[in-house]
Structure 1
Amino acid sequence: MNTQPNTFRRIVTGHDADGKAIIISDAAPVHTQLVGGPGGPTFYEVWHTVETPALIHAQPDEVDEDRLILPPPANGTRIRVIDFPPEGDAIRNLTGADAAAKFKAMGDEKASTSHEGAPHPLMHKTETIDYGIVLEGEITLVLDRAETLIKAGDIVIQTGTNHAWANRSDKVCRIAFVLIDGRFID
């Protein structure tokens, strides 16, 4: 069974000419992309900033991006929601080259760390701090030397570690991610 979670609203606030708080936009996310074809995850790009501290505009406007980009902008942030369908053989049988191509389609081919003998074919690493909040379902966080089942309500703080997500259940898992640009110190 592969039931798709309900869509969600993205509410963006701002200020009117008098400095009073208003709603700028109230709709489903505009940028949605299925990655890897049927059986792949669906990315919902919610918002991103291009600097930290983030500049707060009276009338926030979405920065244009013409494609899905895995990491946040340099010195910026990104929030996205991903629906991970149950994992099938199409994912489990990916080669290193296949995995690199999938990450290239997400704008970050160098993130792929897949190799023969890796714990999961979609292992990857980014120079970011990521907060992952499981909204619905469950998923396994796969690391180099550990894995753990994450369930609805759990929060993962991903600190630039090599990892993959494996949905071994029979339902879609929805996770909200906040990605913050970072730098490795070693």
Structure 2
Amino acid sequence: MDQQQKTFRRIVTGHDTTGKATIISDAVPVNIHLVGGPGGPTFFEVWHTLESPALIHAQPDEMDESNLLLGPPKNGTRLRVIEFPPEGDEIRKLTGLDAAEKFKSMGDAHASTSANGAPHPLMHRTKTVDYGIVLEGEITMILDRGEVTVHAGDVIVQNGTNHAWANRSDKICRMAFILIDGEFTSEIL
């Protein structure tokens, strides 16, 4: 099976010294992380903001972030694209400790909720509202109670739910995610 994917561009706009809209950069994302080695997902960190409302700079530049961070900055946002390869036994056979290590490598070991009897070894939860858009392929979102398979063009609005992603197809699934920092209300355990 061919795992080669076409590259996508990130176009960033800004303002010149006269206040006119201009293109600041047009290139592939440079902050790319393969999580867990071959067979793991590839994260393309596209952009993030540090506050809400987001400050709009005349000449926005690449944020100084060399490590992969699972969630957005406090009160900020994050845009990323993830390529999920077809899931193999190396994922299905992960232990809870293995899963915690994977999330630790993404800067948030506490996100892992993997436990014996969990619906998937990479179950996790973050204090975020996430918009997930399937760009190519298909993937199954697994929740505590139920799962749904989504296809290119489908959109998921995820409200801090415990979940995992399983690519049960034979092709890469590419998704775009917009992550928004959040807080749980008192009604959510």
> TM-score range, shorter-chain basis?
over 0.9
Q: Secondary structure at the match of 1:130?
A: strand
State the AA in 1 paired with 2:157.
Answer: I
- Asked if 1:138 is matched to 2:138, the reply is yes
Question: What is the match of residue 53 of structure 1?
Answer: 53
Question: What is the match of residue 28 of structure 1?
Answer: 28
Where does the alignment leave 5 or more consecutive residues of structure 2 unmatched? none
State the AA in 2 paired with 1:96.
Answer: G
Question: What is the match of residue 72 of structure 1?
Answer: 72
What's the offset of the Cα at 1:5? 2.2
Aligned length: 186
Q: Pairwise mapping of residues 3-152 of structure 1 onto structure 2 (< 5 A)?
A: 3-152=3-152
2:100 & 2:22 partners in 1: Cα distance? 43
Q: Secondary structure at the match of 2:5?
A: coil
State the AA in 2 paired with 1:115.
Answer: A
What's the offset of the Cα at 1:3? 2.2
What percentage of aligned pairs have identical amino acids? 73
What's the offset of the Cα at 1:76? 0.0
What's the offset of the Cα at 1:61? 1.4
2:4 & 2:76 partners in 1: Cα distance? 30
Question: What is the match of residue 177 of structure 1?
Answer: 177
Residue by residue over 1:21-71, the C-alpha shift from the partner in whole angstroms, topping out at 9 and shown as x without a partner, is 110000000100100000000000000000000000000012201200000
Are the counterparts in 2 of residues 41 and 85 from structure 1 also a CA contact under 8 Å?
yes
Are the counterparts in 2 of residues 5 and 174 from structure 1 also a CA contact under 8 Å?
no
2:4 & 2:104 partners in 1: Cα distance? 25
Are the counterparts in 2 of residues 103 and 112 from structure 1 also a CA contact under 8 Å?
yes
State the AA in 1 paired with 2:47.
Answer: W
1:90 & 1:149 partners in 2: Cα distance? 21
1:179 & 1:140 partners in 2: Cα distance? 19
1:2 & 1:98 partners in 2: Cα distance? 28
2:25 & 2:162 partners in 1: Cα distance? 36
Q: Secondary structure at the match of 2:74?
A: coil
Are the counterparts in 1 of residues 16 and 59 from structure 2 also a CA contact under 8 Å?
yes
Residue by residue over 1:55-111, the C-alpha shift from the partner in whole angstroms, topping out at 9 and shown as x without a partner, is 000000122012000000000000000000000000000000000000000000000
* RMSD between superposed Cα atoms in Å: 0.6
